[in-house]
Amino acid sequence: MGALNYVYYPILGRMLPPTVFGEVQTLVSFFLQLSIFLSVLGLVTVNVSTNYDDELKRNRVIFDLERIALVVSLGLLGLSIVFANQLQIFFRFNDSLPFVVLALAIVVSVPFTFRGAFVRGRHGFGVASVSNLIASAAKIIFSVVFVALGLSTVGAIGGVVMAQLTALIYIAYWAQRMGLFRAPGVHWASRPDMSLLGPELKYAGMVLVTSLLITLQFSIDILVVKHYFDAHTAGLYAGIATVARIIFFLTGSIAQVLMPSVKLKNTTLENRALLKKSFLLLAATGIPTLLLFVIAPKAIVHLLMGGAYDDYAHLLPMLSVAIFAVAITNLVVSYYMALRRYWIAIVVVAGASVTYILMVSHHGSLMSVIEGLLLGSLSMLLLIAGISGSSWIKNRGKRA
């Protein structure tokens, strides 16, 4: 799935001129930011599916969360229509329609996200993987066809819409078979049960803050470059960023499997054993790729993106290190979110603030932007290590 998600970018990078490809990358970054609320509610759904034993109560909570997500996504669609021209001017796009299509992609992602989250929470990783494979493959097929027909940026994002609809058919069937059904007396117009939703919305607030900032950490450099640099430079940088993000695509699924595996009723030793195994998996997949990018950046960029991006290949080593740091942070943060440790949100806010301050104050060159991303990500990791380490020492002292 990670491979297919990644292939989408170099394929479009070769089909589109750098300026247009920069627009696509910017929209993808926007999609990650705007759909963060959906990812958050999906993670809450995973946690609910993992820890709730009462089927009716579980399904009621999931259905109410889905209704909230649908309302928010429709609101974003309305805002994108109203402010499309302003977004076009600010990000220097040739057309405003891609922003509306992007918001539509978020709307159709709602039912797909919740059913996929439920299936993962019930440990149906095979079913979830197949549905994501369908979505990833369909995204490539539809986007390539639409771009070949001359739809440019709109076609690239329109492929995402069609892919989500295609994969929804499969995942909806399996989610129902695994026990996700509408609770009796619950319908779209009924009022949510706040006595059930209250604790989950509190948890969702913590997940929202942490997930938003981790997602932004993963893509903030593209947005900064798109705003402060000319369109051609931003497009070429997007190509290098596409290569560096292979590391995140390779390791991202480890965190997705870790979250539903960590349970509140498990012992600390059991959960930590899962975290250690996840670290080993991340190292086994991420470090060899990182070394390859550091040793032969120009050859890798030329192979994946083409000769137009060769002059910027020197950015790849440091950017790859920064993305690897973000991947480690994502894994650790996912672990503490699964355990409902609310302090993790404060740490992520502090680390992200370092990143944003550095980027806003030092963006005179592309390398300066990358340095801000790297230093901010490392500061976030150091803060997490410091707090978790002091907590471990404290608990060990109590046991002694």
Other beta carbons within 10 Å of 184: 8
pLDDT category at 183 given cuts 50, 70, 90 is: low
Other beta carbons within 10 Å of 238: 28
The shares of helix, strand and coil residues in the chain, as percent rounded to the nearest 5, are 85, 0, 15
User: Which stretch of 47-51, 244-248, 355-359 has the lowest confidence by average pLDDT?
Assistant: 47-51
pLDDT in tens, 54-89: 888 888 888 888 888 888 888 888 888 888 888 888
Q: At what angle do helices 18-34 and 2-15 cross, to 10 degrees?
A: 150
| Mean pLDDT computed over 89-109 | 85
pLDDT of residue 324: 93
**β strands within the chain, DSSP E:** none
CB 351 within 8 A of CB 380: yes
Other beta carbons within 10 Å of 189: 6
pLDDT exceeds 70 at position 190: no
User: Which stretch of 271-275, 362-366, 395-399 has the lowest confidence by average pLDDT?
Assistant: 395-399
| Mean pLDDT computed over 190-218 | 76
pLDDT exceeds 60 at position 43: yes
- Residues in CB range of 272: below 8 A, 6 or more apart: none
pLDDT of residue 191: 67
pLDDT of residue 222: 85
DSSP string of 75-137, one letter each residue: HHHHHHHHSHHHHHHHTT-S-SHHHHHHHHHHHHHHHHHHHHHHHHHTT-HHHHHHHHHHHHH
Distance CA 101, CA 93 (A): 14
- For the chain, the straight-line distance linking the first and the last C-alpha, in angstroms and rounded, comes to 46
pLDDT exceeds 60 at position 344: yes
Annotate 311-349 with b (16+ C-beta within 10 A) or e (fewer).
Answer: ebbebbbbbbbbbbbbbbbbbbbbbbbbbebeebbebbe
CB 326 within 8 A of CB 217: yes
pLDDT of residue 215: 76
Sequence spans of domains, the chain: 2-399
More reliable by pLDDT, 115 or 249: 115
pLDDT exceeds 60 at position 104: yes
Average pLDDT, the chain: 85
| Mean pLDDT computed over 11-31 | 82
Q: At what angle do helices 55-82 and 36-51 cross, to 10 degrees?
A: 180
- Determine whether 400 is exposed, middle or buried from the number of CB atoms within 10 Å of its CB (0-12, 13-18, 19+): exposed
Nearest to 371 by CA among 224, 229, 248: 224
pLDDT exceeds 60 at position 329: yes
pLDDT category at 396 given cuts 50, 70, 90 is: low
pLDDT exceeds 90 at position 174: yes
**Residue type (1 letter), 128:** A
pLDDT exceeds 60 at position 393: no
pLDDT exceeds 90 at position 295: yes
pLDDT of residue 188: 62
pLDDT of residue 317: 94
Nearest to 220 by CA among 41, 83, 375: 375
The structure tokens listed for 345 are 């949100």
| Mean pLDDT computed over 25-43 | 77
More reliable by pLDDT, 77 or 215: 77
pLDDT category at 314 given cuts 50, 70, 90 is: very high
- Residues in CB range of 384: below 8 A, 6 or more apart: 329, 332, 333, 336, 344, 347, 351
- pTM value > 0.85: no
pLDDT of residue 318: 93
Tokens 């929804």 — which residue? 168
pLDDT of residue 361: 85
pLDDT exceeds 70 at position 315: yes
Helix runs in 35-54, H state only: 36-51
pLDDT category at 142 given cuts 50, 70, 90 is: very high
pLDDT exceeds 80 at position 289: yes
pLDDT exceeds 80 at position 389: no
- Residues in CB range of 77: below 8 A, 6 or more apart: 100, 103, 104, 106, 107
More reliable by pLDDT, 64 or 297: 297
Most confident of 42-56, 154-168, 181-195: 154-168
pLDDT of residue 283: 93
Tokens 């030092």 — which residue? 362
pLDDT category at 92 given cuts 50, 70, 90 is: confident
